[in-house]
Amino acid sequence: MSRGKKLSYGMAINEALHQIMEQDERVFILGEDVAKMGGDFGITKGIWAKWPERIKDTALSESAILGLSCGAAVCGLKPVPEIMFADFLGVGFDQITNNAAKLNYMYQGKAHCGITVRAPQGGGIRCAYHHSACVESWFMNTPGLVIVCPTTPYEAKGLLISAIKSDNPVLFLEHKALYNVKGEVPEEMYELPLYEAEIEREGSDVTVIATQTMLAKAHKAAEELDKEGVSCEIIDLRTVFPYDKETIQKSVAKTGRLVIAQEGVKCGGWAAEISAMINEDVFEYLRSPIKRVTGLDSPMPFSPGLEDHVMPQQEDVVRAIRQVMEY
């Protein structure tokens, strides 16, 4: 694989869409303002000029967008619907959880619903309560649905191509605050495996699991604590559901301590699911209680100061690591 070039997270997704559409004529895109405008965040720009028949602007109806996608997928096409903000996936919740996620099971694997639903999520850019949610946990208890949360431009391109090629319905959640973050991305088309976490940093004292914006905060926290002699192992979850239990369990068995950094609200989050799994499966290796670093159980405020207060910060990760190291 070539070394590649520097691309932003958003343009890495754009390049993935261009390349997979070049390769597979079954792939098409639909959503609100995705064609001529190129999407609210510019992620689909340039596609309408090349394939005007394979990218469609739709009405403001998330349920219709997702329902049409489900039908097209059953007929053998590969729809990539964009939902402008992940908060509005709730409008099409039935199409995702009752139709797309269950279809393969209903037809004993003889029919598939290979849709890849792209949706920007997360806070940090002052979009307030209706445009800032992290929605992974809304969908985690839906067997048959895959939830992917890429963090870097490299991950965004490789995981999106894998998602589109998959026959399973994938919820591909992109963090808005990462769209302009740049990183090295190979020029050719490549795939990264779904369902596998990545150990970003080797360590021996504490395991830290994070995704998206929390990953950078975890790395900065680890660098700070390295000066105090604390060795942090950092795991990038990548696929939030079904998540990579084996990698997590092996790491926690090695370090004996676990901190989970999740941007979304605390109650019912994916951090709680992983915490429960570790307590059930590898409790005997734990040397301290598990700590969750999460957002507050609050709607997202519009005020910048209040938004920063509600969202978890680097110092919260540092504090949690110090607390587990006390045992």
Number of helices and strands in the chain (H, E): 12, 14
Q: Do the Cβ atoms of 244 and 196 come closer than 8 Å?
A: yes
> Helix, strand or coil for residue 57?
strand
Euclidean distance between CA atoms 142 and 145, whole angstroms: 6
Closest C-alpha to 187, from 152, 164, 151, 153: 153
Closest C-alpha to 149, from 137, 131, 132: 137
For residue 7, which phi and psi values (nearest 5 degrees)?
Answer: -135, 150
Residue 221 makes CB contacts below 8 A (sequence gap 6+) with 208, 232, 314, 317, 318, 321
Q: Do the Cβ atoms of 65 and 92 come closer than 8 Å?
A: yes
For residue 326, the Cα-to-chain-centroid distance in whole angstroms is 32
Q: Which residue is catalytic, options 18, 112, 131, 175?
A: 131
Strand partners, 80: 29
For residue 152, which phi and psi values (nearest 5 degrees)?
Answer: -110, 160
Euclidean distance between CA atoms 318 and 327, whole angstroms: 15
- Hey, what's the torsion of the CAs at 163, 45, 149, 294, to 10 degrees? -160
Known catalytic residue at 219: no
In this structure, what DSSP letter does residue 90 have? G
Euclidean distance between CA atoms 247 and 142, whole angstroms: 22
Q: Do the Cβ atoms of 203 and 232 come closer than 8 Å?
A: yes
Euclidean distance between CA atoms 310 and 305, whole angstroms: 9
Strand partners, 274: none
Active site residues: 131
